[in-house]
């Protein structure tokens, strides 16, 4: 694991606050965890509300938490006055996401002043056994001197 420059020592709280401002994450039943400099983890337990036609986790959900885990890993390295935007992401699904828990582990491959490149591996856990089901590679942009949303006082 690479070591990154930390611009905001309160990054873990700021990532958590931003995540909590995303109505979509609540709607999905997602939680963020293991927030470190340049990496985060997002977990979603299975429910029928999250399924595709075969009853597995929906591919769009896999992409959603892959994107979000990548974005927040980039955000964790930003200054307290910056916010983050997704420029683009690509998802490769490797196996159907059949199981009781979906976990996306995002990490920064290369932090940048303007653009950061991040990757998330997405695992599905079935009967407690984790299996890699997808990977996400994306580009995230630093919005300098831009609040992260209503209630972000930095």
Q: How far is the CB of 124 from its own copies (least distance, A)?
A: 13
Listed ranges 5-13, 33-41, 78-86, 122-130: which one lies at the site for its own copies (CB under 8 A): 78-86
| Per-position b or e across 107-138, b if 16+ CB within 10 A of its CB | bbeebeeeebbbbbbbbbbeeeeeeebbbbbb
Residue count, binding to its own copies (CB under 8 A): 56
Contact between 149 and its own copies by CB under 8 A: the answer reads yes
Map the footprint of its own copies across residues 28-67, applying CB under 8 A.
47-55, 58-61, 63-65, 67
Please state at what angle helix 11-21 crosses helix 59-75, rounded to 10 degrees: 140
Nearest CA-CA partner of 10 in 45, 35, 44, 41: 35
- Burial (CB < 10 A; 0-12, 13-18, 19+), residue 52, is middle
Contact between 132 and its own copies by CB under 8 A: the answer reads yes
Binding site for its own copies (CB under 8 A): 18-19, 21-24, 26-27, 47-55, 58-61, 63-65, 67-68, 71, 83, 85-96, 109-110, 112, 114-115, 117, 119, 132, 135, 137, 139, 141, 148-150, 152
């Amino acid at each position: 694991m690479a070591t990154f420059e930390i611009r905001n020592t309160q990054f873990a709280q700021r990532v958590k606050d931003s995540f909590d401002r995303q109505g979509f994450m609540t709607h999905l039943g997602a939680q963020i965890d293991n927030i470190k400099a340049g990496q985060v983890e997002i977990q979603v337990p299975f429910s029928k509300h999250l399924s595709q036609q075969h009853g597995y986790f929906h591919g769009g959900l896999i992409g959603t938490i892959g994107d979000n885990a990548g974005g927040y890993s980039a955000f964790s390295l930003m200054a307290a006055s910056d916010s983050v935007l997704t420029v683009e992401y690509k998802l490769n699904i490797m196996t159907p996401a059949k199981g009781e828990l979906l976990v996306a582990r995002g990490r920064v491959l290369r932090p940048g002043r303007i653009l950061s490149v991040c990757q998330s591996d997405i695992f599905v856990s079935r009967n407690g056994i984790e299996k890699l089901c997808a990977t996400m590679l994306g580009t995230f942009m630093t919005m300098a001197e831009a609040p992260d949303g209503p209630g972000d006082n930095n």
